[in-house]
Amino acid sequence: MTPDGFVRDYSLVADASPAMVLRYNVQMSTGVGLAPATLDRLAQHPKIVGIKESGGTTFLLALCVGADGWILALAGLVPDLRERLMTLVTEGRLAEARSLQRRLNLLARSAGTIDGVPGLKVGLDLRGLAGGAPCEPLVPAPSSVVEDRQQPKALELPVRG
């Protein structure tokens, strides 16, 4: 995909959609990414209203430059920590926010990058939430992932119950 290809593709979808559209940048899966100049071009379309950035755990940086929030699978696992990060940034407590971001990075790599959606589902199940099995073609995480997630970690997660 070229920048012009991205702009054409997203614009065609947005033009045909009755709803607002989010761009989705997931370079680790697609091998291509949306460059800042391309994002600027897409931001001009009245029905393209945001982006789901899956290029890494960049939410602290995004908040610091004016993002209002984010779409993040990890937020379903630790909504309290997501809210805490937003509060710390809003209050200008950036050293604390950076510390929390580092903790969240560890969890994101474990629940997302390493084991993907199946690992995230395990995390939700262990918190007492309904993670369940992933949709096909994905398969459930192996029992070793479940056992690993049950071990005490540096990032303690509260359990609902």
Q: Which residues are part of the catalytic machinery?
A: 52
| Residues β-bridged to residue 51 | 23
Tokens of 99: 């510390």
d(CA 126, CA 75) in angstroms, rounded, equals: 15
d(CA 33, CA 7) in angstroms, rounded, equals: 12
Whose CA is closest to 1, among 40, 31, 45, 26? 31
